[in-house]
């Protein structure tokens, strides 16, 4: 695993939790979402979009990708077993009928 991937893995929860903290503070104080860290009002949508996409990728799409890969491997092993069973059935038919 690359160094950058390890850093992202280690510190991924921090920006997402920080964005939720800023969101709660924005609701409580009736201020814009990320103005607490000095971000101009015009760029809040971009920062929120980036943080939201990062959270989506890290906590939903990443694990989903791993489950899909694991499922493909399981389906491959099952299809191998089924083809082996089919060959055994053909062999049994030949011995019984032939």
Number of domain units in the chain: 1
The burial of 49, by beta-carbon neighbours within 10 Å (0-12 exposed, 13-18 middle, 19 or more buried), is given as exposed
Task: Tell whether the model's pLDDT for residue 30 goes beyond 70.
Answer: no
Q: Which two tokens stand for residue 26?
A: 């924005």
For 60, the domain range is 3-97
Give tens-digit pLDDT for 48-95. 778 778 888 888 888 888 899 999 999 988 888 888 888 888 988 888
Task: Tell whether the model's pLDDT for residue 28 goes beyond 80.
Answer: no
Task: Tell whether the model's pLDDT for residue 13 goes beyond 70.
Answer: yes
CA angle 57/12/69 to nearest 5° reads 45
- String of DSSP letters for 8-34: HHHHSHHHHHHHHHHHHHHHHHT--TT
pLDDT, residue 68, reads 92
Task: Fill in the DSSP letter of residue 1.
Answer: -
Give tens-digit pLDDT for 74-86. 998 888 888 888 8
Distance CA 92, CA 6 (A): 53
Task: Tell whether the model's pLDDT for residue 20 goes beyond 80.
Answer: no
Q: What is the mean pLDDT of the chain?
A: 79
What is the pTM for the complete model shown? Answer: 0.51
């Amino acid at each position: 695993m690359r160094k950058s991937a390890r850093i992202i893995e280690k510190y991924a929860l921090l920006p997402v939790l920080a964005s939720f903290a800023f969101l709660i503070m924005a609701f409580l104080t009736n201020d814009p979402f990320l103005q607490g860290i000095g971000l101009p009002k015009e760029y809040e949508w971009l920062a929120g979009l980036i943080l939201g996409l990062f959270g989506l990728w890290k906590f939903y799409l990443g694990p989903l990708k791993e489950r899909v890969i694991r499922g493909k491997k399981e389906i491959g092993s099952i299809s191998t077993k089924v083809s082996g069973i089919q060959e055994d059935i053909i062999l049994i038919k030949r011995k019984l009928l032939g």
